[in-house]
Amino acid sequence: MKTVIGNWKMNVGVRESIALARGTLLTLRGRKVVPNLIICPSFIALSEVRKVIARSSVSLCAQNMSWEDKGAFTGEISSRMLDEVGVTHVLIGHSERRGLFSETDEIVNRKLKKALENNLTPIVCIGESVEHREEGGYLEIIKNQIASALGGIRLRSSAKLFIAYEPIWAIGTGKNADVAQVIEVHEFIKTVLSDIFPGIKEDQLNVLYGGSVNGDNAYALLREKSIDGVLVGGASVKINQFKDVIEAASEVLEAQE
């Protein structure tokens, strides 16, 4: 199964989110095979979007969460609150959270533990800077990010974990890692994960790619076995672009059958 995640970031309000959710559902009509589809509205739109997708196969994801359950944390949202409005997945450690809001690997680890504790499926984002890519030490950086994020983590047999590889130099820049570069890193990530979770079921761990994914490059990425799905940013709020990504995933799944 391939996964397609649409991260709407801070681009659309409630009304636009409702329209976008409806448009996303329309892209699934008449398809024999569809990917595992997850959408990430802003906090204020979660409840309304949930009403739109309630009877569909589309899952609801939050863009962030606190590592605390409750308390005097102005502006924060807890995993329990997210569960109340039907959220099943949560983005953790997105590069924009790390870069703009100084989230560290330790914070990512605390959020990950809390998400799993409250039965949310985490989508943990990792990736190297352009400096690390050019210096050649990017695999070690990625390994350290994974080790820090997953420190002390144990997955129950029913739990799932997504790792989203999003090279910082390819996010919102229009640049995209070529397929060979993505395959190299994805295979490396899967090796690291197999060492951390020996004997775990294959379908519990999924490695996604995120970095200027759009309708033009989605098929080339998704047809690769080591790429379990894509995390789509800017293109996910452009319904025609997002439709193309979903179509690419569906075509790959049909070909695999």
Annotated catalytic sites, by residue?
Answer: 94, 166
Asked if 192 contacts 185 with a C-beta cutoff of 8 angstroms, the reply is: no
Angle at which helix 14-26 crosses helix 46-53, to 10 degrees, equals 20
Asked if 168 contacts 95 with a C-beta cutoff of 8 angstroms, the reply is: yes
CA–CA separation, 109 vs 117, rounded Å? 12
- HEC sequence for 180-234: HHHHHHHHHHHHHHHHHCCCCCHHHEEEEECCCCCCCCHHHHHCCCCCCEEEECH
Asked if 161 contacts 207 with a C-beta cutoff of 8 angstroms, the reply is: no
**Which residues, including other chains, have CB under 8 Å from residue 205's CB and lie 6 or more apart?**
160, 161, 163, 190, 193, 197
Strands, E assignment, the chain: 3-7, 36-40, 59-62, 89-92, 121-126, 161-165, 205-209, 229-232
